[in-house]
């Protein structure tokens, strides 16, 4: 610990003595106590396979112009090594509504210009999925999004994309990570003057033309646009990037949209919500007020960078929030059932999910004769799968994960709330013609395919101490795998870090990239997963059960959750 303290103090003093350091950062440094120093300097902000995300501020473990420059040196070097003179095709840069997002986007362009890489920067905030689309639309070599998704206001982040508009999978991201880690001095990074780069053609602003092309493609996800629009929709972007695009996607197709006015503002502090995360019912507080006032059928919320979508539906006198697994199952069934009716269901189609996604949607897909493949958590792996089948006779039918991310058509190689909000509105609209709600649809699917219930527990452990605790929990359970959870025997353990599946005394290789994930399968068909978040200071516990009734499944879910939490509490 003493050595770490010496290292922290040395880095702190280096920053304090740096000539020309921004006054805002200098003042923050001057106000730091020992705990704040340690958290800001005990490590360099980790650049992982999903980019980087952290608290905005001074220090090596913070998001600031220097850590952004460091990340872009790594990405720029990678692109230059890969594309050589072809880097003139450029990189597309988008940003969300957060504090420093515009500044970080411009800093990215200033560093890339030193590698001879042109930047196409959106003139204002835009959704992450539109960035993914724009990369291929402009034939660029990559993309960058400055965003911290649904994290609290003190965070920002940085994600990178390949020429297919897909986040880099580990075998390529690892190369970037090595190049980022090779940067010794963040204060010795070349940048160009932004205005000069713009005048020299190294920076180009983009906007409305890309919006139109993207929305034209989004329109194509509809299957029954001929049905009269009678559904009433409350929509909130939660202060984020879908305010304009999301509203326009619905209105141009004839939907009656009631915007949550207070949350249509691009507020970096998210002043009307405790957390801008559509996975949480609290994020729907304002939408529920609007829905109640206007007798709306559904409420739709997207997260700040508009890749995730949450839906609440009026049913039996209240708004019920659908989980990501439930919405995914509804969309899977609607797509496949409708296309079967229309005679356009392909002989070979694929539905993609992840290892922590419910079996609900997979069961439905298989009933329609579709193939199903589970990837590691992270939509980049679904985007990678879309690439592998694009020149084959197999059609990409749908991709989703439990954390409220969906893509219907793969002109976007990331999760896309704009596609999803348009199609889920269609499902609600078609159902309303016969007096059925989305919740009625869900109940029908339960009765037909089984009562699947899932849960997610987030254990928040912040800072250096929290990081160490998460590592301790994972290591302890990995070394002491539970054999029984209450009345249920553990029959299989899948350890994605070592790539091994343990079935009794036998083992099998897991043909997926390595990831710090443990999955336990029980003899009644239930399962649970432990996974440290790659973007937030959390240990995530996923649970999935199947029962003979909704009540039985809910009881079983609670039982497993209580036992798993008790195991963790003893560590």
Q: What is the pLDDT of residues 365-396, one digit of tens each?
A: 999 999 999 999 999 999 999 999 999 999 99
**Same domain assignment for residues 441 and 462:** no
Average pLDDT of 68-77? 98
Q: 389 lies in a domain?
A: yes
What b/e sequence results for 277-301 when a residue is b if at least 16 CB atoms lie within 10 Å of its CB, and e otherwise? bbbbeebbebbbebbeeeebbbbbb
* Cross-sheet strand order for the sheet of 395-401: 371-375, 349-354, 395-401, 405-407
pLDDT at 47: 81
CATH number of the CATH domain containing 499: 3.30.310.50
Average pLDDT of 106-127? 98
Q: What is the pLDDT of residues 477-531, one digit of tens each?
A: 999 999 999 999 999 999 999 999 999 889 999 999 899 999 999 999 999 999 9
pLDDT at 1: 46
Q: 201 lies in a domain?
A: yes
Q: Given phi > 0 = left and psi -120 to 50 = alpha, else beta, which region is 44?
A: beta
**Same domain assignment for residues 110 and 177:** yes
Average pLDDT of 400-424? 97
**Same domain assignment for residues 462 and 534:** yes
pLDDT of 535 strictly over 80: no
CATH number of the CATH domain containing 220: 3.40.120.10
Count CB-CB contacts under 10 A for residue 21. 17
**Same domain assignment for residues 350 and 363:** yes
The verdict on whether 149 is a catalytic residue reads yes
Q: What is the mean pLDDT of the chain?
A: 96
pLDDT at 4: 60
**Same domain assignment for residues 444 and 470:** no
Domain containing 265: what range?
Answer: 214-323
Contact 159, 173 (CB under 8 A): no
Distance CA 368, CA 352 (A): 14
Q: 218 lies in a domain?
A: yes
pLDDT category, 63, cuts 50, 70, 90? very high
Q: 257 lies in a domain?
A: yes
List Cβ neighbours of 410 (8 Å cut-off, separation of 6 or more): 383, 386, 390, 396, 399
pLDDT category, 3, cuts 50, 70, 90? low
Q: What is the pLDDT of residues 317-364, one digit of tens each?
A: 999 999 999 999 999 999 999 999 999 999 999 999 999 999 999 999
Distance CA 348, CA 370 (A): 7
**Same domain assignment for residues 282 and 316:** yes
Residue that is last in its domain, among 449, 476, 493: 449
Q: How far apart are the first and last CA of the chain?
A: 22
pLDDT of 270 strictly over 80: yes
**Same domain assignment for residues 148 and 273:** no
pLDDT of 314 strictly over 50: yes
List Cβ neighbours of 22 (8 Å cut-off, separation of 6 or more): 65
pLDDT at 2: 54
**Same domain assignment for residues 466 and 409:** no
Distance CA 125, CA 121 (A): 10
pLDDT at 534: 77
Average pLDDT of 6-18? 95
**Same domain assignment for residues 437 and 522:** no
Of 44, 108, 119, 149, which is the active-site residue? 149
**Same domain assignment for residues 73 and 170:** yes
Q: What is the pLDDT of residues 461-486, one digit of tens each?
A: 988 899 999 999 999 999 999 999 99
Residue that is last in its domain, among 386, 415, 449: 449
Which pairing describes strands 91-95 and 119-122: parallel, antiparallel, or unpaired? Answer: parallel
Q: 281 lies in a domain?
A: yes
Per this entry, what is the length of the chain? 571
Please tell me the total count of domains within the chain.
4
Q: 29 lies in a domain?
A: no
Contact 147, 117 (CB under 8 A): no
φ, ψ of residue 97 to 5 degrees: the values are: -95, 5
Q: 532 lies in a domain?
A: yes
Q: Given phi > 0 = left and psi -120 to 50 = alpha, else beta, which region is 232?
A: beta
- pTM of the predicted model as reported, rounded to 2 decimal places: 0.94
Q: 11 lies in a domain?
A: no
List Cβ neighbours of 347 (8 Å cut-off, separation of 6 or more): 369, 393
pLDDT at 310: 98
Q: Which of 112-121, 235-244, 510-519, 532-541 has the lowest mean pLDDT?
A: 532-541
Average pLDDT of 231-259? 98
Average pLDDT of 183-198? 96
Question: Angle at Cα 240 formed by Cα 239 and Cα 241, nearest 5°?
Answer: 145
**Same domain assignment for residues 182 and 238:** no
Average pLDDT of 90-97? 98
Residue that is last in its domain, among 160, 180, 206: 206
Contact 43, 471 (CB under 8 A): no
């Amino acid at each position: 610990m003493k050595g770490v303290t010496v290292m922290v103090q040395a880095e702190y003093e280096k920053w304090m003595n740096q000539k020309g350091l921004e006054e805002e950062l200098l003042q923050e440094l001057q106000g730091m106590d020992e705990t704040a120093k340690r958290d800001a300097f005990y490590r360099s902000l980790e650049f992982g396979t999903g980019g980087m995300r952290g608290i905005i501020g001074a220090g090596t473990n913070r998001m600031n112009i220097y850590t952004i420059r460091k990340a872009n040196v790594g990405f720029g070097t990678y692109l230059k090594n890969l594309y050589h003179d072809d880097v003139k095709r450029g990189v597309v840069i988008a940003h969300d509504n957060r504090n420093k997002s515009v500044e970080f986007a411009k800093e990215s362009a200033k560093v890339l210009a030193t590698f001879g890489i042109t930047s196409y920067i959106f003139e204002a905030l835009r959704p992450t999925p539109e960035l993914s689309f724009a990369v291929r639309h402009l034939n660029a070599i990559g993309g960058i999004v400055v965003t911290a998704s649904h994290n609290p206001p003190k965070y920002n982040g940085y994600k990178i994309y390949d020429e297919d508009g897909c986040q880099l999978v580990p075998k390529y991201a690892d190369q970037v990570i090595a190049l980022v880690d090779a940067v010794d001095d963040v204060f010795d990074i070349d940048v160009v003057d932004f205005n000069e780069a713009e005048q020299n053609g190294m920076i180009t602003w983009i906007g409305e033309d890309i919006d139109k092309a993207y929305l034209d493609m989004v329109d194509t996800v509809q299957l029954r646009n001929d049905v009269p629009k009678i559904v009433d929709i409350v929509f909130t972007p939660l202060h984020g990037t879908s305010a304009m695009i999301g509203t326009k996607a619905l209105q141009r197709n004839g939907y009656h949209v009631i915007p949550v006015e207070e949350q249509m503002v691009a507020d970096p502090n998210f002043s009307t919500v405790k957390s801008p995360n559509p996975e949480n019912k609290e994020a729907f507080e304002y939408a529920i007020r609007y829905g109640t006032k206007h007798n709306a059928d559904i409420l739709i919320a997207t997260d700040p960078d508009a890749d995730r979508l949450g839906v609440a539906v009026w049913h039996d006198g209240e708004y019920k929030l659908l989980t990501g697994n439930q919405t995914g199952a509804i969309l899977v069934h609607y797509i496949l059932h409708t296309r079967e009716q229309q005679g356009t269901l392909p002989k070979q189609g694929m539905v993609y999910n992840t290892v922590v996604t419910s079996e609900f949607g997979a069961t439905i897909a298989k009933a329609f004769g579709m193939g199903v493949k589970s990837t590691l958590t992270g939509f980049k792996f679904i985007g990678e799968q879309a690439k592998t089948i694009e020149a084959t006779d197999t059609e990409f039918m749908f991709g989703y994960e439990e954390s409220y991310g969906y893509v219907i058509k793969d002109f976007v190689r990331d999760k896309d709330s704009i596609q999803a909000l348009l199609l889920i509105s269609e499902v609600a609209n078609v159902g309303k013609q016969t007096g059925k709600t989305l919740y009625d649809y869900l109940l029908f699917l339960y009765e037909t395919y089984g009562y699947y219930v899932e849960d997610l527990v987030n254990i928040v452990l912040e800072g250096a101490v929290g990081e160490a605790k998460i590592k301790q929990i994972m290591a302890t359970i990995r070394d002491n795998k539970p054999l029984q959870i209450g009345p249920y025997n553990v029959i299989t353990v899948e350890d994605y870090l070592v790539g091994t599946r343990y079935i009794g005394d036998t083992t099998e290789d897991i043909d997926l990239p390595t990831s710090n994930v443990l999955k336990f399968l029980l003899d009644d068909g239930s399962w649970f997963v432990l996974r440290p978040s790659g973007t937030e200071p959390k240990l995530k516990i996923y649970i999935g059960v199947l029962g003979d009734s909704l009540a039985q499944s809910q009881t079983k879910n609670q039982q497993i959750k209580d036992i798993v939490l008790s195991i963790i509490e003893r560590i």
